[in-house]
Copies of this chain bind each other. A is one copy, B any other.
Amino acid sequence: MAQDNIRIIVIGGGAGGISAASTAKGLMPDASITLFTEFEDVAYSPCGIPFVLGKEIANFDNLFLQTAEHYAKIGIDLRLQTKVTGINLENRTVSVGSDDFEWDRLVIATGFEYDEPEIPGIDLENIWYVKNIRRAMEYDKALETMKKAVVVSATPLGIEMAGNLAHRGLESHLIDEGGWLMSDIADPDIMEPVKESLEEMGAQMHFGTKVLEFKGTNGKVTSVVTSNGEIECDVVVIAAHKKPNNSISKEAGIELGATGGIMVDDHMRTSVKDVFAAGDCAEVVHGVTDIPIQGLSGSHAYSQGRIAGSNAAGNDRAYDPVFIPWGMMGGKVQIGGVSLGETLHKALGIPHVVAFSMGISRARYYPGVMRIRVKLIAEPGTGKVLGAQMSGGEGIKERADFLAFVIKRGVTLNELAWMENVYSPPIGALMEPIALAAQAGLREMAK
Contacts and interface: CB of A to CB of B under 8 A. Distances in A.
Contact of A400 (B45, B298, B422): B422
Interface in A351-377: 363-367
Contacts of A425: 45, 47-48, 51, 57
A426 B396 CA distance: 12
Given A299-B423, A365-B62, A397-B395, A402 B404 contact: no
Nearest to A52: B365
B320 A418 contact: yes
A42 B51 CA distance: 48
Contacts of A299: 420-423, 430-431
Nearest to A404: B420
Interface stretch (A169-177, A182-190, A325-333): A325-333
Contacts of A322: 420
Interface string A35-59: 0000000000101100100001100
A34 interface: no
A157 to B, nearest CB: 11
What copy number does this chain have within its complex? 2
Nearest to A64: B365
Contact of A405 (B334, B404, B406): B406
Contacts of A415: 405
The interface centre, meaning the residue of A47, A325, A405, A434 with most chain B CB atoms within 10 A of its CB, is A405
Contacts of A424: 47, 297, 326-329, 397
Contacts of A56: 366-367, 426
A428 B409 CA distance: 23
A231 interface: no
A325 B421 contact: yes
A80 interface: no
Interface in A313-330: 320, 322-329
Contacts of A396: 427
A63 interface: yes
A385 to B, nearest CB: 12
A251 interface: no
B365 A63 contact: yes
B422 A297 contact: yes
Interface in A46-86: 47-48, 51, 56-57, 62-63, 65
A266 interface: no
Interface in A401-447: 401-402, 404-406, 409, 415, 418-428, 430-432, 434
A398 interface: yes
Interface in A371-401: 394-401
B430 A401 contact: no
Report, nearest first, the 4 A-B pairs whose CB atoms are least far apart. Answer: A398-B398, A299-B423, A62-B365, A402-B402
